[in-house]
Amino acid sequence: MVYKKAPNPSGDVPDASETPGHQFGPAAKERRYTGIGSSKGFAIGEAHEFVQEIIDHEIAELNESNIEEEIERFQAALNRSEKELKKIERVTTRKIGKLYSDLFQAQIMLLNDPVLIENITRRIREELKPAHLVIEQEFEQYLGNFIHSDDQIFRERAADLHDIKERIIRNLHIRKLHSWVPEGTIVVSHHLSPADIILLSRSNVKGFATDTGGKTSHVALICKSLNIPMVAGLGNFSQKIGSGMPVILDGTEGVIITEPSEQTIGEYQQKREDVIRREADDSALAHQNAFTRCGMRITVCSNIDFKEEIEHLEPTGSEGVGLFRTENLFLDDLKPPQESVQQEYYLEMAEMLSPKPLVIRLFDIGGDKLIYSPVKEPNPNLGWRGVRILIDVPEILDAQLRSIIKANVHGNVDLMIPMISSLEEIEHIKERLEHHYKRISEASHETIYKPGLGAMIEMPAAVELIDEITSMVDFISIGTNDLTQYTLAVDRNNLIVQDLFEKFHPAIIRQLYRIISTAQKNRCRATLCGDMGSDPLATPFLIGCGLREFSIVSSDIPALKARVANHSITECEALAAECIKLSSPQAIKARLEVFLKEH
């Protein structure tokens, strides 16, 4: 067997945005590369190119005499892979808790999947194919449903499956797991798995930069928990850098600077000191209620994916959960979780939070990933997803509604509908909620609270119907990520057009003003749960539109509370009225930047 360096990504992957830096001396070679800021923070140091080795297999024919030996190699590879994952799971639990170590427990469960093992073993024996080839083919069947998905959650599932496949194949050849890098370096790689991040973090790395990935990947979430800055989505950046090259990594803005000048290094050292000082100031306000300078109360809640996150909310000053994404319950075994499992999960969350609110988003799942879908859709983002599936597959909807109602024993649970595009969709969910609530309350011997009903505003169609929608529901929640994507027809995960994904586009700004002001007029609560809620530039504009509730990443809450205290309603309203008249993103951002400097 021969080992060789992993090939560079193909030319169809676009380069990271690259611009020459300022020339501060005759030898200056500073260059800047723009990617996606996946984990905030700054790192200054030397790059280390981390290259995954791949195996150049010798395709050998099997015969009756060596079939059993090949099967034994496969079983031994599974055993070695399980030992590795258990070690990584222990390290993860020790570093950042059980929430993320469960990722590796899920991989261990797949390694022990009797159907997968039996299929591979049978095919080796019947088809006389080497183990690595059968493993490749079997995993391709799993990966096919996920790898080209438009849904980030399912692409993450594909990345996990790919990691398992590569681990088993590597262990077929008893190849030692490569997890060492020089202490204190900035690791650059084409791709990194969650296991890579955990193991490499033991070398006190300063930051990570990858050609692939995005903001919501498991890798990004782990980096955030480890407080290690990361820039992802850099195209073919790993081809352009060598170990030992001096770099600055800016995970906040999503920028990599190679061979920085002394002046640039000084600027980033100052930025880092400013951030440390500001975070200390913000943390002092975290446990206080947020008020504007003129005394208006602003509520700030958290977006979460797992119940284990709840125990970490209090230190951030979170006032509850404004968005619980339930898709991870669905993904455990690729079929809807049982009603009893859902009820127990939601009930535990509600009790942990009470009396603080828990807003549960109904399953936002896409048609190309489900056994219910008769065809593979060419564009699932514009296909069978979200509320459309819930209506067409009533057993999923009804089980989730019943479990949410039964879990609302403290009266602090609300639910909201994803991907609304018509009034009929809301009417249908409303009717099913009333139906189940009536039956459950009549059969119960104790008080049953009906959850409040909310609608996600994520599509231009919902914006056009906002007057009617805000008259039909208890609250709305604005998903600015999808609203921007659908309004501008730009996939935010597509490297080719990601620079066109502009949340300060005049169309988005005007939609937000219309949505929030209409909700206010109709006395309908409005909250915002997209990335825009964490953006300092957006805060005064959103308050000026009339927004009084935010739901954001928990770690961003102290900073948001601190910013709120700098603004008055009158000033923010004047700013919002001015911004909706501007005709370009550049003009809008320039005005917001001036406002922040003045306040």
Q: Name the residues annotated as catalytic.
A: 218, 529
Instruction: Kindly report the three-state secondary structure assignment for every residue of 448-468.
Output: CCCCEEEEEECCHHHHHCHHH
Torsion of CA 201, 206, 211, 216, to 10 degrees: 70
Long-range contacts of the stretch 585-589 (C-beta < 8 A, 24+) = 585/502, 585/504, 585/505, 585/506, 588/504, 588/506, 588/509, 589/504, 589/537
467 is in an annotated binding site: no
Cβ contacts of 369 within 8 Å, gap of 6 or more: 145, 146, 149, 151, 154, 334, 380
Please name the helix (run of DSSP H) or strand (run of DSSP E) that holds residue 246, with its range, or none.
strand 246-250
Residue 470, Cα to own-chain centre: how many angstroms?
28
279 is in an annotated binding site: no
481 is in an annotated binding site: yes
Please name the helix (run of DSSP H) or strand (run of DSSP E) that holds residue 437, with its range, or none.
helix 423-443
Euclidean distance between the first and final Cα of the chain, in Å?
65
Q: Name the residue among 178, 160, 163, 1 with its Cα closest to residue 73.
A: 1
User: Residue 229 is encoded by which pair of tokens?
Assistant: 């800055």
Tell me how far apart the alpha carbons of residues 165 and 594 are, in angstroms, rounded to a whole number: 51
482 is in an annotated binding site: yes
DSSP string, 492-535: TT-TTTGGG--TT-HHHHHHHHHHHHHHHHTT-EEEE-SGGGG-
| Residues in a beta bridge with 230 | 39, 208
Please answer whether residues 501 and 525 qualify as being in contact, where contact means their C-beta atoms are separated by less than 8 angstroms: no
Alpha-carbon torsion 453, 457, 458, 462, what sign? positive
Cβ contacts of 582 within 8 Å, gap of 6 or more: 506, 509, 588, 591
Residue 596, Cα to own-chain centre: how many angstroms?
28
Tell me how far apart the alpha carbons of residues 228 and 210 are, in angstroms, rounded to a whole number: 14
Please name the helix (run of DSSP H) or strand (run of DSSP E) that holds residue 412, with its range, or none.
none
Tell me how far apart the alpha carbons of residues 240 and 248 are, in angstroms, rounded to a whole number: 15
Tell me how far apart the alpha carbons of residues 373 and 392 are, in angstroms, rounded to a whole number: 11
Cα angle vertex 278, ends 274, 279, to 5°?
A: 120
Q: Scan for tokens 């048609």, then name that residue.
A: 367
361 is in an annotated binding site: yes
| Residues in a beta bridge with 189 | 210
Q: Scan for tokens 């990520």, then name that residue.
A: 481
- Judged by DSSP in three states, 175 sits in coil
167 is in an annotated binding site: no
Tell me how far apart the alpha carbons of residues 159 and 142 are, in angstroms, rounded to a whole number: 11
Q: What is the DSSP letter of 178?
A: -
Q: Which residues are annotated as a binding site?
A: 325, 361, 458, 481-482, 492
Q: Which residues are annotated as a binding site for Mg(2+)?
A: 458, 482
Q: Which residues are annotated as a binding site for phosphoenolpyruvate?
A: 325, 361, 481-482, 492
